[in-house]
Amino acid sequence: MPLTLYRKFGKVAPNFAGPSRFYTLPGATFGMTTIAGEWTVPTATFTLTDGQLGDDTGVDEMIVDPGGPVLPAPTGAPAVSRWGLIALVGLLSAAAAVGLWRRAA
């Protein structure tokens, strides 16, 4: 599943007095790179400027960057088919019947 977003958590420039929140950093590009000729790893490339969007602090000669790449959200929850649901009800009913039969014996 390809990476498509770089998300951050923190203050959003220029309102550094406001609350921290999650937001998407625009302009991030994603690729792959090989390390030491052995490992291929995903990469994210973007530019941060002191005191601008992506930096958690004002202009202070330091960039604070809490964030990371994210995978796309799943599009739906797994579901059981009609026959799977019928089988599940049947198994639960059989288990209940056995439990009642053992209790009566």
Please enumerate in sequence order all residues whose Cβ is within 8 A of that of 69, keeping only pairs 6 or more positions apart, or say none. 3, 5, 6, 7, 28, 30, 42, 44
Residue 6 exposure: Cα atoms within 13 Å on the Cβ side: 20
pLDDT value for 46: 87
pLDDT averaged per 10 residues, the chain (length 105): 76 79 86 91 87 80 82 74 89 92 81
Look at residue 52 in the predicted model and tell me its pLDDT. Answer: 83
